[in-house]
């Protein structure tokens, strides 16, 4: 595990040996998101983005399954600890569709918005506070969390 911090950028990187490690990293990250955040999830299909989101949701008290909202685009989780919106924009045809679904209503200050395939919604999504990138590494995965702004940096500091 390594944390690099300087005034311009802050990032956090960790190797995840198996699925359980991805869930547990998500849970730890989720513990630091209680004030809300916009998180973009980057990585190829099968990289572990949804698995990581399951961990985040566990930190908010959700113990059930987490299905990819591939066709519905968003799955809301209204939990005692807070509200988490899980987006999967993989099948989004035109980013303008996000306007019709009232995308702005989801991005409340206090909510956690986890966005898989943010590139598909480019121009219609608020900026990320944190970009989480999952990449295949041997049989496991590598996770990098990058703070984009001060809010994101504060979250990474909470985690370290
Ligand atoms: N650290 C890991 N090492 C090995 N396999 C993992 C790891 N994390 C997740 N996986 C596996 O990767 C597969 C795809 O995960 P998923 O979260 O659906 O990916 P994505 O949402 O990025 O498409 C799942 O079978 C999951 O068990
Ligand atoms: Mg997914």
List domains and CATH numbers for the chain.
2-159 (3.40.50.300)
CA–CA separation, 72 and 85 (whole Å):
12
Q: How far is the CA of 35 from the centre of ligand 2 (A)?
A: 24
Whole-number pLDDT of residue 15? 98
Residue 48 CA to ligand 1 center (angstroms) comes to: 3
Dihedral angle computed from the Cα positions of residues 147, 133, 78 and 101, in that order, rounded to the nearest 10 degrees: 100
pLDDT in tens, 47-92: 999 999 999 999 999 999 999 998 889 999 999 999 999 999 999 9
Atom 14, ligand 1: which residue's CA is nearest?
Answer: 46
pTM score > 0.75 for this model? yes
Residues 6-29 have pLDDT tens digits of 444 699 999 999 999 999 999 999
**Ligand 2 geometric centre to CA of 43 (Å):** 9
């Amino acid at each position: 595990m390594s944390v690099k911090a300087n005034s311009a950028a802050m990032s956090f990187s960790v190797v995840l040996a198996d699925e359980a490690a991805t869930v547990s990293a998500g849970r730890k990250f989720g513990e630091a998101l209680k004030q809300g955040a916009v998180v973009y999830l980057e990585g190829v299909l099968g990289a572990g983005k949804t698995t990581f989101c399951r961990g985040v949701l566990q930190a908010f008290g959700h113990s059930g399954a987490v299905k990819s909202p591939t066709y519905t685009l968003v799955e809301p989780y209204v939990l005692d600890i807070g509200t988490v919106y899980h987006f999967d924009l993989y099948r989004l045809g035109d980013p303008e569709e996000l306007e019709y679904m009232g995308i702005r209503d989801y991005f409340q200050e206090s909510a956690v918005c986890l966005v898989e395939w943010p590139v598909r919604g480019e121009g219609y999504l608020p900026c990320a506070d944190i970009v989480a990138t999952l990449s295949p590494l041997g049989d496991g995965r590598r996770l990098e969390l990058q703070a984009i702004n001060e809010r994101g940096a504060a979250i990474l500091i909470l985690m370290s």
